[in-house]
Structure 1
Amino acid sequence: MSSDSGSAVVAAADSAPHFVLVPMMAAGHAGPMFDMARALARRGALVTFVTTPLNLPRLGRVAGEDAFPIRFLPLRFPCAEAGLPEGCESLDALPGLGLLGNFNHACAMLHAPLVARLRDDAAAGSAPPASCVISDACHPWTGGVARELGVPRLAFDGFCTFSSFCMRQMNVHRIFDGVDDDTRPVRVPGFPIDVEISRARSPGNFTGPGMKEFGEEIMAESARADGLVVNSFAELEPLFVDAYESTIGKKVWTIGPLLLMSTVPSTASDEDADAVRCASWLESKKPRSVVFVSFGSLPGDLAGFERWLSDDGFETRVGERGLVVTGWAPQRAILSHPATGAFVTHCGWNSVLECVAAGLPMATWPHFAEQFMNEKLVVDVLRVGVPVGVKGTAQWGVEAEAVVATRDDVARAVAAVLDGGEEGSARRARAADLGRKAREAVARGGSSDRNLKLLVEHVEHQKKSTA
C-alpha cells in the first residue's frame, strides 16, 4: 500500500498502533525487516516501511500484499551530499569498504526528512502519528528520531540473541583494551557459557576513519533503546535470551524465524529462470544427497569469481553433478527441497536461520562480522554444525591474500556433515528437531507468535496511556 492511499489507511487503522520500521539498506538486513512488517500488519498494526527509491523495487513484494496496512515511505538518499557515487543507496552497492563511513553518514542525514514526513502525514490526516520506531541497530540516528517524536524505539540487530548479547558484553567490559595481539582469544565476561574470541574475529572489526566511534555509537544507542527485537525463537537459545533480559533489564522480543511468518512463496515461479533451473536440477537428485554452498549477499569480487569459474573449467568438469548460480539463488527453496542434505555457509544469521528452519546440518565457514560467534552457537551449543576450520579472517571489501581454508578442510567438514555414522545421524536428528521447533514457534500459540501479539499489545497500551 503506498503512502498515497492515506485516508484508507487511517480509516482502517484508526486505533491500531503505528510502527515505523527503518531497515539498514542492504538485502540481508531489509529482507527480515520486511518480513517483520508483514507479520505486524497481519496482527492488525499499521506499518510504515522506510526505504529509498532504488531499494523499494528490491523488496520482493507479491500480489495481494496491498491488502495489508503497510505504507512504503521512499526517502531521497543523499548520495551526493555524503560523497557517494550516485546510485549507492544500499550497502551491497558500495564499491568498497572505504565508503562505508560516507554511507553511514548518508543514512544519518535521513533523520530530519523522516521526522518531517511523519509529522506532515499526521497533520494532513494521511497517516496516524507514529507509536513506535523499530530500527536496525546500525541506524543509531533513529534513537534521536524516536525521542523527537516522543515514542519508544526498539533496536533490531538482525543477529541471534547469542551473538547480540556476546557483543554487548565485549563492548561493556572492553575486553580488548590492552591486548596487542589481534589473534589472541579473550574470554567474554558475564556470559552464560565460557566463550573466547579474538579481536580479529570480533564483530565490527572494520578499519577506516570514524568506524570505531560509529561502533560505539551503535552500542550506546542500543543501550538506550526501550527493548530489542530479535529474529530468533525462544526454544533455539533460551539460556541466552533469559541472561540478556536479566542483564539489561529490558524485554528481548524473539519473534522469528521471520522467514516462516512471511507469505512469500518459497517455491520457484515461472518468471524466475534461476529458481526454475534449480528446482528442475534438484528434482533429478536423490533425497538428502545435495550440498548447497552459499556465501551470502556480500560476496566481494563477483566478476572475478565468475572469471575464475570460467577459466578453471569448474562447471565443465563437474557437469550434471553440480549446478552454479551466479545471480540471486532461491536459497529458501533450495534448503527446503528434499534433495538437499547439508549447507556450507558463511554463518550469516539469515542463512543460519533459514537452514535451522529447514532442519538441516551445516558446514561452517565464517568470514567476518558476527559470523564467528554464530559459528560457536551452531557448532558448540546447538551441535548441528561441523567447522571447516578457518585459519584466518577476512574483511568485507578487503581482498585477502592468505588462504583461510583448503579444499581438504572443506571436504573433511562436508564428509562429516553427510556421514551416515552415529555422530552424523545424531547431528541430523538435532537439526531436524530444531526445524520442528522453529515451525512450532511461529504457529498459532507458539512462542514467537505470542511474542508478536504481546509486542503489538504493548505498543498499543503505551499509545493509549500517552494519548
Structure 2
Amino acid sequence: MDTKSHKQLHIFFFPYMAQGHTIPLINMAKLFASHGVKSTLITTPLNAPLFSKAIQGTKQLGFDIEILVIKFPTEEVGLPQGCESGNLATTTEMKEKFFKATFLLQPQIEQVLDEHRPHCLVADAFFPWATDLAAKFGIPRIIFHGVGFFALCATLSVLLYEPHLKLSSDSEVFTIPNFPVEIKLIRSQIPAFIKQNAETEFTKLFKAARECEEKSFGFIINSFYELEPAFADHYRTAFGRKAWHIGPILSWNKAANDEASLGQHKSLNWLNSKKPNSVVYICFGSMTNFIDSQLLEIAAGLEASGQGFIWVVKREKNDKEEWLPEGFEKRMEGKGLIIRGWAPQVPILEHKAIGGFVTHCGWNSILEGVSAGVPMITWPVSAEQFYNEKLVTVVLRTGVAVGVEQWSTFVDVKKEASVKREAIEKTINQVMVSEEAEGMRARARVLREMATRAVKEGGSSFADLTSLLEELGSLGA
C-alpha cells in the first residue's frame, strides 16, 4: 500500500479511561501510524505511563505517534485524587462522578483541537460531546464502540422495539426483533439501564451517546467481516450506519506489540511442559470482581473437572485465603497455576497447551479467543456481554454457556455465588474432553485462520482500513 499518500493525514485518538477501551485504541493508533498516518493519543497524567510503555519501540519502526496529556477533573466532581480510570471507580457513586468528570474534559479537548488542527477525531462512544466539538472545527468525528457488530445490532433492536416491556417477569424469554438470526434471551439478561426508566448519570450518557451517532461521520469496529457477516451487513443496511471493520486490531502488528519481554512470564514456561489442548485458561477481565464464595465455587469446579488450568485472580496473597478450599494450591501443584494480578493473556491463549477459555465475554477477550482459535466457556457479567455470549454459543458454535441468567453492574457482582461448582465442572469438561469438543475446536481453528487473513493485504479488514484512509485523505485534501 502506498503510505506516502497518507503522509499529510493527522488523526487524534481519544480513548475512554478504562483498560478495555484504552488498549484497542492505542493499538489502533499504532495501526494507523504503520500506514503512514500521524497519530496522536490523548490521555491523562495517571494513564500516560501505560500509553508510553505501549508505544515504546514504535519510533524505531518509523511510526509517527505521540501522546498529548490533559488534566482529569477529579477534584471538580469530588473523586479521590488519582482516580483517573473507570477501573478505579469501585462504587456506583464513584462511577456516576466519573461519568460526570468525562463531560468536563470538553474545554481541554477543544483547546488541543484548536492548537493542532488534526484531520479527524476518533473518540470513544462514551464521549458523545466529541461529535459537535469536531464539527466546530470542520473535521469528521468517528465513533469507537469497542464492541462487535452482533452486539451493536442487538442493542439497537432492543432499544428500538423494546421487546422486554411486553414481558411479565425477569425469567420470561423473548426473541430479539428484526434480527438476522433467531436469538432468545430472558429479561434479566439485558442491561438494567435499558430495563429501568430511572435517570442516572449513566443513562444520560447512554442517551447522549445514542443521539450523537446519527450526526457522526461513522464507526470504526474492532471486528472482521467473516466473523459476523450477517450482522455487519445488517448494521449498515437496516440501521443505515457507516462503519469500517478493521480488526482484530491486535493481529495487525505483532511486532509493534512488544511481547518478547513476556517470554519469561512463569505461566508460559509452565505451559511448555503441558500437552496440547490440555489446559483451561480462566480470566474475567479487568473490571469483574467476584466475592469469595464465587471464587470458592470456581476452585471446587476446577478441581472436580480434573483438567489442568491457569486461573487469573485479582487477589493479593495472604496467610488465610478464604476464597480457596483448604489445601487447594498444594493439591493442585503441577496441575494448576493461580496468577494473582496481571497475566499476558494473548501469549497464553496462543499457546498450544491451551484447550479452552473461561471468559466474561468482554469483546476484547472474545476477539483474543477467536484469534487464538480457542473454544470458550462463556460467563457474561455486564455491559453487552450477554449478547457476545450468544454470538459464541449460538452463531459461531465455538463455546458453551456456563448458565448465568442475571445481568449485573460491575459493582453488584459481589452479592452471591450465582454459578455453582457442578455447572463449572460440567462446562469445562464439555469444552475440553467431550464428544462435541473436537467440533468446537475445529470451528475455532477455522475462525483463527479467517482472523489472520482479514488483516493481511487482500483481506477484508485490510480493504476496509484502506478505503477509510482514502476517504479521510480526500476530505483532508
> Same fold, TM exceeding 0.5?
yes
Alignment match, 2:155: 167
In structure 2, give the amino acid aligned to 1:284: S
Would you say 1:99 and 2:94 are equivalent positions?
A: yes
Give the aligned partner of residue 27 of structure 1.
19
Q: 1:414: which partner in 2?
A: 428
Distance of 1:180 and 1:94 partners within structure 2: 34
Structure 1 range deviating more: 387-396 or 369-378: 387-396
CA contact (8 A) 2:14 2:121 kept: yes
Change (3 A) 1:208 1:411: farther
Match of 2:277 among 273, 284, 288: 288
The alpha-carbon deviation at position 463 of structure 1 amounts to 1.8
Which residue pairs with 2:34 in the alignment? 42
Long gaps (5+) in structure 2: 291-313
Residue by residue, what CA displacement relative to the aligned partner does 1:228-284 show, whole Å, maximum 9, x if unpaired? Answer: 1111000100000001100232322110000101334474526x8xx5211111111
Is residue 444 of structure 2 the alignment partner of residue 431 of structure 1? yes
C-alpha distance 277-268 of structure 1, shift in aligned 2 (>3 A):
farther
Larger displacement relative to structure 2 (297-306 or 72-81): 297-306
Give the TM-score taking structure 1 as reference length.
0.89
* Local SS of the residue matching 2:334: helix
Q: 1:234–1:14: structure 2 CA closer, same or farther, 3 Å change rule?
A: closer
Q: Secondary structure at the match of 2:227?
A: coil
Alpha-carbon contact 1:83-1:102 (below 8 Å) kept:
yes
Calculate percent identity across the aligned residue pairs.
35
Question: Once the 2 structures are TM-superposed, how far is the Cα of residue 51 of structure 1 from its aligned partner?
Answer: 0.7
Aligned counterpart for 1:317 among listed residues 323, 331, 337:
331
Measured against aligned partners, the alpha-carbon deviations of 1:429-463 in whole angstroms (never above 9, x if no partner) come to 10000000000001122111111111111111112
For 2:250 and 2:391, locate their aligned partners in 1 and report how far apart those are by CA, in whole Å.
20
Q: 1:179 to 1:101 in 2, by over 3 A?
A: farther
Q: What are the equivalent positions in structure 2 for 1:84-123 lying under 5 Å apart?
A: 84-120=79-115, 122=116
Q: Which runs of 5+ in 1 are unaligned?
A: 1-11, 123-128
Are 1:334 and 2:327 counterparts? no
Contact 2:288 2:413 in 1 (8 A): no
> Aligned partner of 1:286: which letter?
K
The two structures, once aligned, show a CA RMSD in angstroms of 2.3
Q: Any idea what the Cα deviations from partners look like across 1:22-54, whole Å, max 9, x if unmatched?
A: 111111110011111011111111112111111
Residue 55 of structure 1, CA deviation: 0.7
**One-letter amino acid of the counterpart of residue 372, structure 1:** F
Question: 1:133 pairs with 102, 121, 127, which one?
Answer: 121
Q: C-alpha distance in 2, partners of 1:14/1:383?
A: 40
1:90-110 Cα offsets, whole Å, 9 max, x none, are 110113222212111111111
- Residue correspondence of structure 1 range 190-205 to structure 2 within 5 A: 190-203=178-191, 205=193
- 1:326–1:214: structure 2 CA closer, same or farther, 3 Å change rule? same
Q: How does 1:149-228 map to 2 (within 5 A)?
A: 149-177=137-165, 179=167, 181-203=169-191, 205=193, 209-228=200-219
C-alpha contact 2:39 2:66 (8 A) present in aligned 1: yes
| Residue 197 of structure 1, CA deviation | 3.1
More displaced stretch, 214-223 vs 351-360: 214-223
Matched residue SS, 1:81: helix
Cα distance 1:369–1:363, how it changes in 2: closer, same or farther (>3 A)?
Answer: same
Residues 1:312 and 1:264: Cα distance change in structure 2 (over 3 Å): farther
Question: What residue number does 1:4 align with?
Answer: none
Partner Cα distance (2:341, 2:414) in 1: 23
- 1:319 counterpart SS class: coil
**Whole-angstrom CA distance in 1 between matches of 2:347 and 2:394:** 27
CA contact (8 A) 2:236 2:243 kept: yes
Deviation digits for residues 343-379 of structure 1, max 9, x if unmatched?
1111111111001000111111111111110000000
| Partner AA of 1:142 in structure 2 | A
CA distance in 1, matches of 2:249, 2:210: 24
When residues 131 and 177 of structure 1 are mapped into structure 2, their CA distance, relative to the original with a 3 A threshold, is farther
Query: Does 2:382 correspond to 1:387?
Result: no
Secondary structure of the residue aligned to 1:130 is coil
- 1:279 corresponding residue in structure 2: 268
The answer to whether the Cα contact below 8 Å between 2:277 and 2:355 also exists between their aligned partners in 1 is yes
Q: Please state whether the residue corresponding to 2:333 is helix, strand or coil.
A: helix
- C-alpha distance 461-383 of structure 1, shift in aligned 2 (>3 A): same
> Given that residues 294 and 345 in structure 1 are in contact (C-alpha distance below 8 angstroms), is that contact kept between their aligned partners in structure 2?
yes
The CA distance in 1 between the partners of 2:406 and 2:317, in whole Å, is 20
Number of paired residues? 442
Cα offset, 1:86, TM superposition: 0.7
How many angstroms apart in 2 are the aligned matches of 1:162 and 1:201?
16
Cα offset for 1:309?
Answer: 4.2
Which residue among 227, 234, 241 is the counterpart of 2:232? 241
1:445 and 2:458 correspond: yes
